[in-house]
Structure formats: C-alpha cells, structure tokens
Structure 1
Amino acid sequence: MPLTDLPLDILVLVFPYLDAESFLALTSTCKAFNQDSIRLDPTYWRHATQTAFRVPNQPVVEYDGARWQKLYRRLLTQSHVFTWGNTDNQRLGHSFRERITRPGRQIWNQQLRCSFPTEMEHTEELGIIADMQCGGWSTTLLTSKGTLHTTGVLDGQSNLHIPGRDGPYGPQPLRFPTAYHSAACAPYYEPTTAIQQFSAGRQHILGLSDSGKIWTWYAANKPCLQIKFLDMELRETSIADSVTTSSTHGRVKKVVAGWSRSSAYVYGVGIVVWDPMVRGADDDQTDTMLVVTNAEIPRTAYQRVKGAPRESKEEAALKAEVGAVLNYILLEHYVVFVTDIGRVFCARFGERNQVEDILELRALRHDNGSHIDVQGSFRSLAIFKGGEVITIDQGYLDACWNTRQNNPEQTEIEGPKRIPALQHNDVISIAFGDYHFLALHSTGKITSYGTELQACGALGLGGDGDPEGRIRGIRYVQRDGRLLPHAYTSGRQVWFELEKKKWMTFMSSGGKDPGEAKERLRMYTTQPSVQGEISEWFEQQGRDWDKDPELQEAADDGLGSYFALSISAAGWHSGAIVLVNEDLAERVRDRCIIKDPEQDSEDESSPSHWSLGTWIPNSTRALLGFQGADQQPRYDPNSGFLDPISHGASPKKGYSYTWAYKSFPRLKLSDGREMPGEVDFDEWRYGRPEWQLDFDV
C-alpha cells in the first residue's frame, strides 16, 4: 500500500517521530501530503514546539496548527522578555541606574516604576525563553534547555538577597542540592534536573522535572528541595517511557504554586495540596523534604484512559457528575478546577489544607461540552468557554460556598463579569496581579485592565506619571491610576514600540500648538467622559503601525513586529515573552522619522536647542514662557520640556517625527458636543465605538 493511501489517523501517529526538517521534507514530496490538514497538523506542530522549546500548552488555541508552526520558526531566533511595573527588589530585571556613595553607606538609585514594557537585561545568554512567571517580588524564566533563572527575591518580606545589589546582576540560575549540582550544570541532558513545567507562587516556586521529580525553591540564593510524600509514592519516568507506557498512575501531570500553598495533580490520586517547605535555620545540607501532612481534593482523580477496562459504578458516577480534571488553580482560600464535561468546581481550604467537599459553580457550567478552561491567582480568576471570558473574584466563591445548603442553585448571587473587550475577541489567557490583569489574544496582542496602585506602571500602558498615562485612559486619584470604563469596551493594548512612547509624550504636552489646544486639554483633563473618548481615539491611532502594505515584505508570517507568546502578572508588576521581528520593527521605526526641512543634519555647530525658534509656533511662545522669537525660555524648567528631543518631537538633530506637525485631537463627542479649537475635526480610524459603560469595573 502506498504511504499516501494510509488514513490520516494513522499518519498522525507517525509524524511525532519526525523532526521538523524531516516533516517539512515529507509534506513537500507530493500534493497529497502538502494539504493543510497534514502540512499544518496541529498535533504535530504543538508537539514539536513543546518538545523543542518547552513552551506550555495554551488550551484555547491548542488545535491551531498554523499558529504553532509560526511559533516554532520564530522561537529559534526571536524570543525576548519584557517586564514593567514596580521595580522594588529588582523584580523586573532592569539594572540599577547608579550607585550613590554616602558617608558610611551606599544608596542604590533606581526608578521606582517602569510604565512602558522594557526588555529584561542579560537574557540573551540564556538562549530561548520558553516560559516566564511573576511571583510576589520576582520574575522567573524557563529556558528551552529546562533551566530556571530568576530576578528579584522570592520572599520580599525577608529580603534575603537582591541580585545586582548583594551579588551578580541579572537573572540568576536557581540552584539544585549539592548531590545534583554537577548533573544540573553538565553539558548533557539530565532528566532529573531539567524542568519541563514550573509555577511561581507568591513566595516560592515549584518545578516538575522531565523524570517526574517535584522541586521547590523558597529563596533565590539557596538550593531547592525535592518533595516526597509520606503516604504516597510518586512514579518517575523519562519522556520516552511516558510515550510508550500505558499506565500513568502515580505520575505527576503538573504543579501549581499558590498564594500560600503548594500543589500537584497526580494521576490516580487527583489534586494534592501541602504547605510550602523550607529548611531549618541551621540546615544547609538537606536535599529532600518529606511531606507528612497533605490533603487530597475529593473527586478529582478520574481520568479517561483509552482501552481501559470496564468502569466501576463509582467511576461511572464520577464521570457523569464531575468528569476528568482539565485544569486547576489555587487562590488565596480556594482551589478551582474545570472538567471535560464543561463544569467548574471549587472547594474552600480548612485547617491543614483539608477540603470537606467540592461545589459546582452552576452559573459557569458550559452545557454544550466544548472547551472550557480556568486561569487565575490570589483572589481573581477567569473562566473561558465558547469565546466568552468571565472574570470573577474570590468574593463570589465565598457567596456560593456559604449558601450551598440553603441556595444550592446559587440563584441571584452576583459576581461574574463579562468585560466587553474580552468577549469573542480571541483571548487565550489571562494573567492577574493584585489589582490589575492582562489578556493575551491569539493575534499576539496584549490588553490591560484594572488599577495601578501608586501609579506603579503595572498596566504597561506608558506614561511615567499623569500626563502620558491619561492619554491611555488612566485616571489618577490620590496617586493611584484606575483605568476608565471607556477602556473596557475595546481594551487598551500594551505597546512595545518606543516611538509610541515619544508620540504620547508629544501629544500629552499639547501637540504642535498647545496654545490652540488648551481648551481641549482642559476638557480632557477635568472630564472623565472626554478623557475616555480621547483615549479611545489614541488607542485606534496607535494600533497596526506594522500593517501598512508597504511593510509586508518583512511580515511574511503575519505575526507582526511584536507578537506576544505568553503573559504573566503578580503583585504590582507584569511581563511577557515577545517574538520580535527586528527587520519589521526597524522599518516601522524608520517610517516614523522624516528629515526636518528647516535643519541641516550635518550642521553640528547649531546649539542643542536648535529648533526652539522654528519648531514651536509664535502663538504658543507666551504660553510656554517665551518673550520673543529669538529669546531663551524665562526659566530653566521649561528648557528640557521645550527641547524637541526630550519633548517627543524629534529623534535627533536634523530630523523630526512625523507627528511633530500634528495637533492635539479635536473630536465630535458621543454626547453631541464639539471640542473647541481652530483645527479641523479628527476622524476615527476604525469608527467611534458604541460605548458599553453599564457594568461595574
């Protein structure tokens, strides 16, 4: 029989044995193999990508073969790590700016916030970054070789060690005990210390090795501990054995580190929970910790196994009432899990992590049986079902749990929210911090929601303070920045192009003529509804800079210049792994710059404030502190503001940004008002949205 005559369900069993080069060679041999159902087989490309790069699965898009193939190609050369938010304890991996020596001590001077995504330093030597997760005071990276590296401190309440201040700067490798140290550093593959999946909790990290060992770290500068259980034996195996062995009983599927708990899903047992483990104060030698007290979440052990013998009555009942666990999370006081029959369950922890029973969250049931997922941390979670994304806080779980006896149907319990920007908008994952959260879309875009305490920058929308952040829809009250309701209609994208930061700086200062725009600026500053509409106008203008037809030669895979692969958030900071098309990004950058017709770029004798006389119109001079056309500013603070380079009008002497001659926008508002001014009204790039403001954000 010719190979092409074999049915597809047989061929897909063969494909995983081929590397990517061999698979592509096979699909190019004839038309029968070059069809999309084979060439873009999602099972193959997901397996190849996860095997080569250890990228975690994203259940919402696990059957998108074209996406997995594009990720495989770009991961080889283009993965970058960006972080933003609060900078305390070096959690973002950005360098200290300077060291100031004072009598008897040294003071490290560092910016307290980073509101625009900035690339983590010293990651290029780590190779391909497969996954990242934020802890309470740290950011941890998993490489494609299975090594873990962290920056910041795992326990910010003790401040034991801060990279860059107390030792080498940059992401530091998480260490293994002495007995495993040589193996972990060896040039050959070692399944006992190569991490296939990890989870960052608030103060600790759990890692699952390729052989099935569970490791835990409680301090970045101390070796980890291997976790074993007194009343349960974990079965270890190699990756090769896991493919050929039919029985999975006793193997660990995944680990999850929560706010103050550790957990693992063990086949045949279910979800197992225990307290984080640490060594004694004077103990530096222990390499294994035996968990004496652990809890098992009831009714979570069932798994569907092909070719399994006939089920018992108990198993059949469990399959019908609960189903097999697909995914789970740990919150501050609850475990929440979803099953393959479209149901969501929760259970509240008691003393020593004990759980008396599980409770179905009836309002979240997905009756049509299609894919369902849960993601969340601390006090927030999101349920994914049929294109919907439902966000919930822990208070809703409390209400359902406390009334489970007298209100089993959970009627009239408020809590679940359907944010308009997240519904049927290709959202594939949600990452929660304490007061903010991010959404990752299958298009590679990130949108941001919530509140920045003390304007820490955790939303990643730019603006190191009030003016620039206001353009993105952030309202600042008592130092906290809260996203306006208007931003929840279409979302606010996290931008990575530094030119957009310059554009925001320029426009937030009034554009080319602040005097002409002063009444519009006053409206937008004092009226939240006007600010909301202005921020949406900027949102539309800032999108799709890399989609111009003239740039598509450098965008052959359709992923754009910046394509976010994964997101993470915790506490007051955030991060993302982003695939960067450097060629396309450079072309976008070049299109933002034009030669200034009034300046000679070769004239190095002109003063540093070369355009103060030509760039700013005469009508604006009095407003900004000028007396005449050839005079200097009246007071020094304005000189930096007026300089076109620091002001966002110019990248360097002799050149201008394309927006340097544009005015602050003038709009016709949705309530019928027209913003004042002398310039023409601006049009909406994608049309003014129908605002959905009738929900509590």
Structure 2
Amino acid sequence: MNDSQDQKLSTGYDNLSPDIVQATLPFLSPGDIRHLSHTNKYFHKLLNFDSSETLWHVLYNKAFGTPYGNDEPFVAKGSGELKTCSESIMIQRYPDQNWHDRYKIRAEEAKLYTWGCFKHARLGYTATSNENLKEANMNSLGGRVKFGVNTPTAVPWNPKDEQHADNDNDDDAIIQISSGGFSFQILTKSGKLYSTGSTFTGGHRGPGPIAGEHDFDPLKAAIRELEESFHHTHQGTGGQINTTGAIGISPPSLGPHQNLYEPLEEMEAKTTETVPGNEHIRRMFARNCFEMFTSETLSFNVDQEKLNSIKFIAVVSGRSHFLAMDEERDLYSWDSPDSEFGVKLRFDGLPSKNTNPIVKIGCGWDLNCAFIYKIGLVVWNTRKALQKGQLSSAVDYKIIPNTGDVTGPGKVVDFACFQGDCIIYITNEGEKIWRYYRGVVHDLELPLEGQLSKLSSCISSLVLFTDQSCYTLKVNDGNVDIEDLTKILLDDPDDRIISLSSGDYHTVALTCKGVLYSWGLESQLCGCLGLGSPHNVINDHNIGRWESLRNMRVVKPQKIKLDNNYTCVAVCAGGWQTGALIIKE
C-alpha cells in the first residue's frame, strides 16, 4: 500500500474517537485486530501490539474480564476505566504500569490458592501431596487426622509443556475459578476446563435428567456386552470371545488372565488428562469430543485434535453440578454422578443462537439460568435424558416474562440463582430488585444507598452491590427477608468490597485494593475462613468464638493475612472450601 492509498483509507477514520473504535474491539478476535491495524496509519498507531494502551486494555478485558459468567454484571457501572473487578484492582495496585504490563502480571503471576476441607481432594491437593502446605496451616485435634487447611495455600499448577516452558505463552493462565459444593472448576485462557478432586457431585443429582432417568452410556453398554459375550463363549464355545459388531474391537484370546476391559481402560487412560505433577486436578471434556458418543458403532478411538476442538469461555457452579459455555455460545452441563462428560444442551422452540446468542450463564443450588439475547432469562431444573445416538439434550425451560429488553430501563443488568425455582434480578433502573418464584414475578424496593449494580448468591444468601455499598440479606423459599438487610462494613474506610462469594456457612469478600476478608461459620475445623488456626483466631486475636467442639464463628469481616504482601484478583467459595487467584509480591 502506497502513501496515497493509505491517505485515502485514512480519510474519515482518523477523525473517529478512540472510544468509538474501542467499543467495537471486544467483538473482534486478536487476528481481526491485527488485520485492522494494517488498514492505515491511524489504526496501526491505535492498535499497535507493542505500544497501544487502547489495544492492551481491550485485550486484558477480553482475556480476564469473565463477562459471560456470574462474576460480573452485564454492564459495568462507574467510570469507563473501572470496568471489571479485576481491572479495578490492577489499576489500584499497579497505577504506574501500562496495560501491557498489567496484562503480563495478571497472566504470569496470578496463582491459584485454596483452603478449607480436605475431603475428596477438593482443594486440588491432599495433606501429603502439596509441598507448599505447612503443618501449622492444617487443622487437627492433635492426632494424625487432618480436617482442613486454615490458610490460603498455593495449588500445584503447572499445565505447561516442560519442553516449551521458556516460551512467552500465557494460554495456560487461569482466567476464571468457580466453586460448587464439593470441588473447584478452573478455566484457562486457552479454553481448557478443569475440576479438582474425585467428585464434583458428592453423589448428588444436579439439574439433569429427572429422577429415575439416565443418559445412555455406551461404556456401560459395552461392558454388559463384553461380560455377556464372555459368559456365552466361556460356557458354550470354549474358544474365542465374539466382540465384533457393535463394539468394534478385536476378539481377545481367552487366556487365564485375559483382561476383558483392556480397551476401556486404554481409552480411559487417553482421556484422563491431569495437570502435570498434580493428579488431583483433571481436565473435563464434553461427550461430543468422543467417537463412542457420536458414531453409530462403539469406538474406543480417541482423537486428540477433537479433544481440543471445544474451547470454553465461561464456567459457573452449583451445589453438585456446573455449566460451561464454549466460544460458539453452546452450553454443556455436568449435572449427574453417572457421567464425567459434559452434555450439550439445546433449547427447542427458541430462535437460533446465530440471531439470539446466550449472553450470560448462572448456577444456583439446584438450577441453571441463562440470559438469551432478546429472549430474556431462561431457567431450568431438568433436561431430557440422552437416548442412544443423541448428541444434545433438550432443556425443560421456562422464560421469565419481560426480561428480554436489550436497551432502556428494563434491560437486565445482573441476576442471581437460588434454590428450587427462584431467580432475583436487577435492571438498568437500579432502584429495586425483581423476584421470580414459581412462575410469578414481583418487584421489591429496599432501603439502599446508591443504585444497584451487581448481585451474587449462595443457597439462601443474597448479596447486593450498589455504586456506594454492599449489603446481604436472606432469601428462604423465595421469600426475601427485608428485616435481615445488613450493610457490610470494613475496618478500612478507604477500601470497599467489589466481589463476594459464599459457601454453605461462610463468606469471603474481595476489595478494590485486592485484599481478602472472610467471616461466618467454620464447620468441623475445615479451615474455610483462611484466618489461621482456631486457637490463634479465638485466643490470640480475639476475633472468633467456639460454637461447639469443632465449629468456630467469626461475626465481622476479618482481613486474611499472608506471609507476604499480596494482590487478589478473583475469589470463589462453595461448600466448606474457598479459592482465590493471588499475586504474591
């Protein structure tokens, strides 16, 4: 392109405000942005990967903004600079750094820390598997049995290929963490999804098939056929096991130590991907990645390229289930103890995702909710069981009326999911909350300071964020207890809570300075508050009290202190455990 051509292309473009250009950048891929930067001198300067503040701010937001899950509302309140919790914290903690440097710090230095109950290795490690864990940071009654971790502890996490460890590659950076009742879910920038521990369900059913129904499982069908074939052959022919046909594996010889399940075990080994050096964090896959679920005849082949074909952009967790959305705006549900593979969901009767994409997803105790563009809030507790040959499951959904506005005062800004059939949401109006319960919608005004901007929830706790303060109240069986409305106050008057998450009985909060606070009940010495040993909390610091032999309560928010200065950029809590992404200084 010569100068005259470039000058023609620049005409009109270089008069555009950077704000207008920046508003379109979140909808472009990094490749598209590079192409745009080569269009003319104006865009090349504005979108230069080496020097553009505008570009790196957008790239930071695209990578770490987590706009599709319930970590952030649909639209951010406040100034244009403070768009998300993570951005707010990075600006506050690194005011002299540019956005390129903030991006690198967030991608390379934010590490996963967990604390709380050890059961099922839900923390991503056990009492003996984590070299970062100190004896003083584990709660016990003086014996060998350890109940939990009482201090934020780094999780062994090194998913990078050791052969390429020196490469400047941030694809394995953790962009989102969420927590259910029995595990953590972890999402990386490359779109890989992980879960901690041995179970995410705890043996409980989530919002999957109705009681008594089960998804068709080709593995169980193959096992039955293998066993029946073995029994028939052993009793009748005494020669070979006929496993040809539907199963599609070669008949093994019937030796005295023949392992009938060898093909299944080989396939399981190929699909069991854990973080290198940590067997307690495993990668989660969707059913659609495997030939055994997609082909008419059962195949145990595993295509590694197909395993990586689905890239997730958001994950949210309920008590015993979790939900993930991929870059194509398709949803996958892990909602049953019967299967470890996510089920693709479909919404029969609704317009195509090409015209009405899913914008945001959320999980409650035993339900899911999605906001679909121009449709509104869509809620479900169950889905159809998958039959043989089916690749997606139809959702038994309901649409909350009058929630489909995309502009104006009625546009939904945020929503929170509870137990049973209860959703609470707020709109651009910002003056009241709306409660959906068993098909009926009511509005409710509350005595709050400022305009409502964000919600979060767990079981029966609702957290309300305004542009000035943070409040909690109780929601039981769809009933909002106004008398329970409580304003959360911190000891530091110059700091404020911008993110909050709750487990069964405890709460953890993140402030704009990147500091963690926790309070509530620490059950059975599980350590979920992260404030240290109960002896120190109660006897030395006088900030807690015993409620029974193993239960400790801390009433007011208390700052979590670590051995080094730190900046926390994300937090989650669930069950009897807590997690955070922390930058150590």
TM-score, normalised to structure 2's length? Answer: 0.66
Q: Give the aligned partner of residue 168 of structure 2.
A: none
Equivalences for residues 465-614 of structure 1 within 5 A: 465-468=534-537, 470-472=539-541, 473-478=543-548, 479-484=550-555, 488=556, 491-497=557-563, 561-580=565-584, 585=585
Separation (CA, whole Å) in 2 of partners of 1:39 and 1:371? 34
The secondary structure found in structure 2 opposite 1:149 is strand
Equivalences for residues 204-353 of structure 1 within 5 A: 204-218=321-335, 222-236=340-354, 249-277=355-383, 279=385, 286-291=390-395, 293-304=396-407, 319=408, 323-333=410-420, 334-350=422-438
The secondary structure found in structure 2 opposite 1:171 is strand
Query: Residues 115 and 11 (structure 1 numbering): CA distance in 2 closer, same or farther, change over 3 Å?
Result: same
Farther off after superposition, 331-340 or 123-132: 123-132
The secondary structure found in structure 2 opposite 1:112 is strand
The secondary structure found in structure 2 opposite 1:62 is coil
Q: CA deviation at 1:279?
A: 4.9
Q: CA deviation at 1:284?
A: 8.0
Separation (CA, whole Å) in 2 of partners of 1:79 and 1:219? 32
The secondary structure found in structure 1 opposite 2:479 is helix
The secondary structure found in structure 1 opposite 2:60 is helix
Separation (CA, whole Å) in 2 of partners of 1:159 and 1:275? 11
Equivalences for residues 154-165 of structure 1 within 5 A: 154-157=200-203
2:443 pairs, out of 345, 360, 364, with: 360
The secondary structure found in structure 1 opposite 2:446 is helix
Query: Residues 133 and 360 (structure 1 numbering): CA distance in 2 closer, same or farther, change over 3 Å?
Result: same
Query: Residues 163 and 379 (structure 1 numbering): CA distance in 2 closer, same or farther, change over 3 Å?
Result: farther
Q: Which amino acid aligns with 1:562?
A: Y
Separation (CA, whole Å) in 2 of partners of 1:371 and 1:47? 25
Could you report, residue by residue, the CA deviation over 1:16-72 in whole angstroms, capped at 9, with x for unpaired residues? 6796998999xxx9xx989xxx9655xx55531243456447446417576393541
In the alignment, is the contact (CA less than 8 A) between 2:180 and 2:575 conserved in 1? yes
Of all paired residues, the percent bearing the same amino acid is 20
Could you report, residue by residue, the CA deviation over 1:292-337 in whole angstroms, capped at 9, with x for unpaired residues? x321112111111xxxxxxxxxxxxxx55xx100111101242111
In the alignment, is the contact (CA less than 8 A) between 2:364 and 2:419 conserved in 1? yes
In the alignment, is the contact (CA less than 8 A) between 2:418 and 2:459 conserved in 1? yes
Could you report, residue by residue, the CA deviation over 1:117-164 in whole angstroms, capped at 9, with x for unpaired residues? 111224444821111111000111001111110013121135999999
Q: CA deviation at 1:424?
A: 6.8
In the alignment, is the contact (CA less than 8 A) between 1:53 and 1:128 conserved in 2? no
In the alignment, is the contact (CA less than 8 A) between 2:544 and 2:552 conserved in 1? yes
In the alignment, is the contact (CA less than 8 A) between 1:230 and 1:290 conserved in 2? yes
Separation (CA, whole Å) in 2 of partners of 1:171 and 1:157? 19
Equivalences for residues 374-385 of structure 1 within 5 A: 374-385=455-466
Q: Give the aligned partner of residue 263 of structure 2.
A: none
In the alignment, is the contact (CA less than 8 A) between 1:24 and 1:39 conserved in 2? no
In the alignment, is the contact (CA less than 8 A) between 2:501 and 2:509 conserved in 1? yes
Query: Residues 118 and 469 (structure 1 numbering): CA distance in 2 closer, same or farther, change over 3 Å?
Result: farther
Q: Number of residue pairs matched? A: 441
Q: Which amino acid aligns with 1:217?
A: W
Query: Residues 439 and 226 (structure 1 numbering): CA distance in 2 closer, same or farther, change over 3 Å?
Result: same
The secondary structure found in structure 1 opposite 2:316 is strand
The secondary structure found in structure 1 opposite 2:470 is strand
Q: What residue ranges of structure 2 are gaps of 5+ in the alignment?
A: 1-10, 92-97, 130-143, 161-170, 207-267, 292-300
In the alignment, is the contact (CA less than 8 A) between 2:289 and 2:307 conserved in 1? no
Q: Which amino acid aligns with 2:316?
A: S
Separation (CA, whole Å) in 2 of partners of 1:285 and 1:374? 40
Query: Residues 383 and 45 (structure 1 numbering): CA distance in 2 closer, same or farther, change over 3 Å?
Result: farther
Query: Residues 33 and 449 (structure 1 numbering): CA distance in 2 closer, same or farther, change over 3 Å?
Result: same
Q: Give the aligned partner of residue 141 of structure 1.
A: 186
2:121 pairs, out of 90, 93, 98, with: 90
The secondary structure found in structure 1 opposite 2:406 is coil
1:455 pairs, out of 522, 525, 537, with: 525
Q: CA deviation at 1:278?
A: 7.7
Query: Residues 483 and 96 (structure 1 numbering): CA distance in 2 closer, same or farther, change over 3 Å?
Result: closer
Separation (CA, whole Å) in 1 of partners of 2:539 and 2:174? 33
Q: Which amino acid aligns with 2:279?
A: Y
Separation (CA, whole Å) in 1 of partners of 2:305 and 2:66? 22
The secondary structure found in structure 2 opposite 1:77 is helix
Separation (CA, whole Å) in 2 of partners of 1:110 and 1:50? 44
Query: Residues 184 and 76 (structure 1 numbering): CA distance in 2 closer, same or farther, change over 3 Å?
Result: farther
In the alignment, is the contact (CA less than 8 A) between 1:218 and 1:278 conserved in 2? no
Query: Residues 235 and 7 (structure 1 numbering): CA distance in 2 closer, same or farther, change over 3 Å?
Result: closer
The secondary structure found in structure 2 opposite 1:294 is strand
Q: Give the aligned partner of residue 156 of structure 2.
A: 121
Separation (CA, whole Å) in 1 of partners of 2:111 and 2:546? 31
Query: Residues 450 and 215 (structure 1 numbering): CA distance in 2 closer, same or farther, change over 3 Å?
Result: same
Separation (CA, whole Å) in 2 of partners of 1:225 and 1:435? 31
Separation (CA, whole Å) in 2 of partners of 1:78 and 1:24? 29
Q: Give the aligned partner of residue 389 of structure 1.
A: 470
In the alignment, is the contact (CA less than 8 A) between 2:521 and 2:551 conserved in 1? yes
Q: Which amino acid aligns with 2:152?
A: P
Separation (CA, whole Å) in 2 of partners of 1:6 and 1:253? 28
Q: Give the aligned partner of residue 60 of structure 2.
A: 49
Q: Which amino acid aligns with 2:424?
A: V
Separation (CA, whole Å) in 2 of partners of 1:265 and 1:254? 5
Q: CA deviation at 1:562?
A: 2.0
1:199 pairs, out of 294, 304, 316, with: 316
1:433 pairs, out of 471, 490, 503, with: 503
Q: Give the aligned partner of residue 280 of structure 2.
A: 170
1:62 pairs, out of 77, 83, 102, with: 83
Q: Which amino acid aligns with 2:500?
A: I
- Structure number having the greater helix percentage: 1
> Are residue 112 (structure 1) and residue 147 (structure 2) matched?
yes
Separation (CA, whole Å) in 2 of partners of 1:573 and 1:82? 11
**Could you say which structure has the greater relative contact order, defined with CA pairs below 8 angstroms and 6 or more residues apart?**
2
In the alignment, is the contact (CA less than 8 A) between 1:461 and 1:469 conserved in 2? no
Separation (CA, whole Å) in 2 of partners of 1:398 and 1:226? 33
Q: CA deviation at 1:73?
A: 2.1
In the alignment, is the contact (CA less than 8 A) between 2:495 and 2:511 conserved in 1? yes
In the alignment, is the contact (CA less than 8 A) between 2:174 and 2:188 conserved in 1? yes
Q: CA deviation at 1:233?
A: 3.8
CA RMSD of aligned residues (A): 4.1
Q: Which amino acid aligns with 2:83?
A: E
In the alignment, is the contact (CA less than 8 A) between 1:475 and 1:483 conserved in 2? yes
Query: Residues 279 and 496 (structure 1 numbering): CA distance in 2 closer, same or farther, change over 3 Å?
Result: farther
Q: Give the aligned partner of residue 311 of structure 1.
A: none
Separation (CA, whole Å) in 2 of partners of 1:262 and 1:10? 35
Could you report, residue by residue, the CA deviation over 1:483-511 in whole angstroms, capped at 9, with x for unpaired residues? 14xxx3xx4222232xxxxxxxxxxxxxx
In the alignment, is the contact (CA less than 8 A) between 2:437 and 2:478 conserved in 1? no
- Structure number having the greater strand percentage: 2
Q: CA deviation at 1:286?
A: 4.7
